[in-house]
Amino acid sequence: MEPTRQEFFGFLLPEKLLFYFLAFLSLGICFWQIRSRIALWLSGKPLGPIREGIKYWLPTREGLGRWANNVGLYVIGQKKVRSSRPRSGAPMHLMLFYGFLTLFIGTTLLAINTYSPFKFHKGLYYLIYEMALDVMGLGFLIACVWAFFRRLAMTRAELGWADYHGDQDEKQWREGRRRPMSGTMNDYAVLGLLFITGFTGYLAEAARMALNPQPFDWSAPVGHALSLALPQLSVEQYKFVWWFHMAWVFAFFMLIPRFRLRHIVMAILVSAGYEKKPWGELKPITMEEVETTGQIGVTLAKDYSRWQLMSMDACMECGRCTEVCPAWNVGKVLNPKLVVQDIRGSMASGVAVAEAVSEEALWACTTCNACVEACPVLIPHVDLIVGARRSLVAEGKLSGTGATMLRQVGSTGSAWGQAAIDREDWMKGLDVPLCRDGVEFEYLMWVGCAGATDPGAIRTTKAVAQLLKRAGVKFACLGKEEACTGDPARRIGEEFLFQEKAMQNVSVFQKYKVKKIVTACPHCMNTFKNEYHQFDGDVEVVHHTQLLSQLVDDGKLAASNPNKGEVTYHDPCYLARVNNESDAPRSLVGDATNLNSEAIDLVQWLQNGPSSGGALAEPEHRGRKTLCCGAGGGRMWMEEEPNQRPGNRRAEELLATGAKTVAVGCPFCRIMLDASIKQVSEEEIRLVDLAEMLQEANAE
């Protein structure tokens, strides 16, 4: 007898009709609920992929290619979940996802077999089908139980109560300013629904086997084992079990648009149309746009693009973004998961975004992109936050030292208010070539505001200039013709000041026919690389560690050679995470790594995270998973409570490696860590840029 299964075994026509009626009814209720959300998405600005619907959604070659690629990578491949840390529940989610996917594909194949002329549900195919669904379904059930108990057993910190300043967390919570990030009753209800739906599926299968045993029932081992425990059943008893299972399936359909279940559909849609752009690129706003809309930035949720509104409905409330947020982890009110949920809530309520999220939370963001990196459904938190900041700045709601910084950038071209001519002070005695002297150069050496002002950063600037000279690189500086890139202005929300500075700098690049830039500031690098093209400023830009690494490879400079464990290195967010460069800095101290590799995934984290295994004493957070120093997003210039400095937490982690030298590759990080190291340690700790270490190694 050929292995197969008779569909609707023992069911009469009226029973089948009732089944179809209830199935269509539950799906209809599902779509009815989604309809109201679609209306809210459409209230947004027609920007992004939906406006370009032909390209993204219709069956053009480009649209389909993008769709297939994104679905393959982010949905089927679960790239973002695989690359998150096991502590975040990634293995459990992978079991849930692949179990669910297998059951979904299996049900679809069964439907094709039932309602099409193709009858393939038999023989060897049937045996493999039964085995695959049974085994993967069991994984699905185990993952449901795992998720349930994981949630029950979550520690205070994992639930969103940072360990760092626990008492303060609780005080803020009591004042209603801070909420735990997870563990709601809804989560238990959803897990219960998934478990019961899956388990009753096994019961229905076991009941069928108990009623009508077949020699090939072994191919569904879980259902078969359960059937052995059941007594002999009548047809009516079997039907009762089957309908009981279907009641849960229909409930599942009706509840998909609600609770976390929504992400099952939304994550696929949002991932499919994901618009790939560098994380370090913020979209410009134009004067025409301001004249048309009468406002700057985002006041109400409808001021976001339709795509951004839709992407927020994909949030699965996993809390991965909050887990990695440097602001949240030092006790600030910013909770990126709640930012998404509060904006989502304001879509329907019409409450202003700054009110829903709170201004305090919006200003607390360092734009470090750790949340964007962690989010499995590709939600662009930084774009959402900066959009709301733009509106606050336009309304004059930025005050204090942040506002002072903006005035300084506008009046002097320096975020620290340094006069243009003083940008050349560091050059004294170094014979640095200047563009205005008509020298030939391959690289424009971009110094940046910090590199020309801060005493520590000036040491880096000098070291870079001297190393370039030693290696015979033709370079020149702009000196007093250099002005702030506008990065802090853009990220704090003053878009038009950024645009003014960008156009000013681009015109200087054009005047001197600049083709390549080297800079020791990852923030300047990011802005040139990812944002200046918006103003016709297409130049090739490298971080100083990248150029120096090349010079070491070419034998023009010698790498530094510290004793093992003597030095630790802090990856800057805008170099390691936003621009995916962690290997070049390490190569300067003789470490060969592959931290840039996108292949850093679950397996590596299970093996205690990606490790260079070289001379450096590596901190827990490194490479793309680095921990922010707290300077980005304009935070460098904003007031900070001494006990709420992200830099302190980072400094503690770096010093926990036992290293007595902390190496950096960013002037902002250097300034923040300098203050934090002094605050958290009484030991004599040396803080240096990698360029200084290289200079020492190449001293005559």
Site mask, ligand SF4, residues 22-51, x = CB under 6 A? ------------------------------
Whole-number Cα distances in Å, 467 to 169, 423, 679 = 47, 20, 32
Question: Least distance (Å) from ligand SF4 to the CB of residue 577?
Answer: 10
Examine residue 315 and tell whether it contacts ligand SF4 (CB under 6 A): yes
Cα dihedral across residues 204, 209, 212, 214: positive or negative: positive
The number of beta carbons lying within 10 Å of the beta carbon of residue 608 is 8
Q: Give the shortest CB-37-to-ligand SF4 separation in angstroms.
A: 16
Q: Which residue type is seen at 449?
A: C
Q: Give least dist CB 351 to ligand SF4, A.
A: 19
**Among residues 207, 261, 300, 316, which is the contact residue for ligand SF4, using CB under 6 A?**
316
Positions 360 through 399 that interact with ligand SF4 (CB under 6 A) = 365-371, 374-377, 379, 381-382
Q: How far is the CB of 361 from ligand SF4 (least distance, A)?
A: 9
Query: Quick one: which segment of 226-234, 329-337, 343-351, 675-683 binds ligand SF4 (CB under 6 A)?
Result: 329-337
Q: For the chain, how long is the longest CA-to-CA vector?
A: 98
Looking at the Cβ atoms of 338 and 697, the one nearer to ligand SF4 is 338
Report the alpha-carbon distance of residue 538 to residue 63 in Å, rounded.
27
Q: Closest distance between ligand SF4 and the C-beta of residue 583, in Å?
A: 23
The SS3 assignment for 396 reads: coil
Residue number, 312 or 427, with CB nearest to ligand SF4: 312
Structure tokens, 82: 């695989």
Residue 612 touching ligand SF4 (CB under 6 A):
no
Closest alpha carbon to 443 in 471, 424, 420: 471
Tell me the closest approach of the beta carbon of residue 627 to ligand SF4, in angstroms.
Answer: 10
CA distances from 243 to 192, 236, 589 (A): 18, 10, 67
* Shortest Cβ 400–ligand SF4 spacing (Å): 19
d(CA 622, CA 614): 14
Asked if 520 and 670 touch (Cβ cutoff 8 Å), the reply is no
Residue type (1 letter), 447: V
Cβ proximity of 308 and 282 under 8 Å: no
Closest to ligand SF4 by CB, 88 or 299? 88
Query: Which is nearer to ligand SF4, 257 or 336 (by Cβ)?
Result: 336
- Answer for the pair 334, 364: CB distance below 8 angstroms, yes or no: yes
Smaller CB distance to ligand SF4: residue 491 or 670?
A: 491
Q: What is the C-alpha to C-alpha distance for residues 481 and 383, in angstroms, rounded to an integer? A: 31
Pick the binder of ligand SF4 from 325, 393, 447, 655 (CB under 6 A). Answer: 325
Q: Which is nearer to ligand SF4, 194 or 589 (CB)?
A: 194
Stretch binding ligand SF4 (CB under 6 A), from 205-213, 292-300, 359-367, 521-529:
359-367
CA distance 359 to 366: 14
* Minimum CB distance to ligand SF4, residue 103 (Å): 22
Task: Decide whether 205 or 640 has the Cβ nearer to ligand SF4.
Answer: 640
Which residues neighbour 224 within 8 Å (Cβ) at sequence distance 6 or greater?
206, 209, 217, 218
Please report how close the Cβ of residue 530 comes to ligand SF4 at its closest, in angstroms. Answer: 16
- Residue closer to ligand SF4 (CB basis): 379 or 659: 379
Of 511, 570, 505, the closest CA to residue 541 belongs to 505
Instruction: List interacting residues with ligand SF4 (CB under 6 A).
Output: 315-321, 324-327, 334, 336-337, 340, 365-371, 374-377, 379, 381-382, 628
